[in-house]
Amino acid sequence: MKAPTRNWAAEVRAGDVRALSRALTAVENGEAEAQSLLRELFPFTGRAWRIGITGAAGTGKSTLVSCLAAHYRAQKKSLGVIAIDPSSPFTGGAILGDRIRMNTHATDDGVFIRSMASRGAWGGLSQAAADAALVLDAAGRDVIIVETVGVGQDEIEIVRVADCTLVVVTPGSGDEVQSLKAGLMEIADIFVLNKADNPETDRFEQQLLSALQLAPPREGWNPKAVRTVATEDRGVVELISEIDAFRQSYAGSKQRQERQVAYWKSWLLRSLQHHVTEQALQNGRTLDELAAGVAARHKEPHKAAEELMSALGFGWKQSS
C-alpha cells in the first residue's frame, strides 16, 4: 500500500472516502502508520453516536442494520458500519449473503460499510474494531453501527465500544430466555425481538421481562424490548425511538462516564494481552520448545510459563 500522505489525518477528518478507506485498512492490518494516524485523530473523536448490535447467527442482524441505515439516512445522518465477520470457511456463504443485502446502500457515500474478519484466536479484533470506530468518528460520521455475529466473550467485548447496545433475538427459534448466553443480559440496553411475527413472541417477551426484573436495577435506564420484522421494515421506527430515548437518558449521565472508563480499562487489558502474545509469537522457537517439553511431560506447564515470561524479559511475580 502506498505510503500515506502528510495530510492523511486531515483528509480523513474532511470525510474523504478514499483516505477513510485506507485508514480502516491500516487499522485492520495493524500497520505501524495506523498508530500515528490514530494519535492525530483521537482528539477529534467522541462526537459520533455508536450503536452496537450482536446476537446469534441467523437472527437477522444484517437486515436490521440495513433498515436502521435507511432510516437514519432519511434523517440526513451519515453512517459508518463496521461488520465483524468470524473467519470460517464454513460460514463464508452466509456472510457473503448478508453483505449482499447491504448493497442497497452500496452507491450511497452517506453509508460507509467495512467488513472486518477475525484476526485469529489471540484477540486484536476488538482493538481493531475500536480503532475503526475512532476513525469513523473523527471522519464525522453521525452514527456508527458495530455489528458482530455471535455471542461469545470476544463479541461482547467488541460491542462494548458502543454507546447503546442492541441484542437481537428471535423468539421461537430454539432460543430460550433461560439459555441466553451469560453476559448478553448484562450488556443489552435494548432487546430486539426480530422475526416477531412468530407466535412464540408473546411468551418469549414475557419470559424476558420477568428475567429482566430479576436483574439488579440499573441507574437511569432499564433494558427495553422492541419487536421488529426487519425483512418487512416493521418496528424499525419504534426501535429508533427507543434508541433515541436511551440516548436522552444516557447523555451526560454518570452511567455513561462509568461505562466509558470501564470500557477503556478493558481495552487497555486486552491491548496488554495482545502485545505480550505478539512478543511471545515473535519468539516462536522458545514457545515451540517449551510446548514440546510439556507435551512430552518433561516440563510442568506452570514452570514452562515462568520460563516463557523470563525469556520475554517480563518479571514473574509468584501469586502467593
Residue 81, classed as helix, strand or coil, is strand
Q: Which is nearer to a copy of itself, 68 or 138 (CB)?
A: 138
Q: What nine digits make up the cell of 126?
A: 476488538
CB of 102 to a copy of itself, least distance (A): 18
Q: What nine digits make up the cell of 258?
A: 462509568
Q: Which is nearer to a copy of itself, 113 or 290 (CB)?
A: 290
CB of 45 to a copy of itself, least distance (A): 7
Report the helix count and the strand count for the chain, using DSSP H and E: 13, 7
Amino acid at the residue 11: E
Q: Which is nearer to a copy of itself, 27 or 111 (CB)?
A: 27
How many other CB atoms are found less than 10 A from the CB of residue 182?
9
CB of 84 to a copy of itself, least distance (A): 11
Q: Which is nearer to a copy of itself, 19 or 290 (CB)?
A: 290
CB of 140 to a copy of itself, least distance (A): 16
CB of 240 to a copy of itself, least distance (A): 27
CB of 158 to a copy of itself, least distance (A): 12
DSSP β-bridge partners for residue 147: 53, 83
Q: Which is nearer to a copy of itself, 69 or 168 (CB)?
A: 168
DSSP β-bridge partners for residue 116: 84
Q: Which is nearer to a copy of itself, 70 or 263 (CB)?
A: 263
* DSSP secondary structure, 134-174, as one string: HHHHHTT-SEEEEEEEB-SHHHHHHHTTSSEEEEEE-TTSS
Q: What nine digits make up the cell of 84?
A: 465483524
For residue 151, give the nearest of 124, 121, 182 by alpha carbon. Answer: 182
Round to whole Å and give the CA distance between 151 and 28.
21
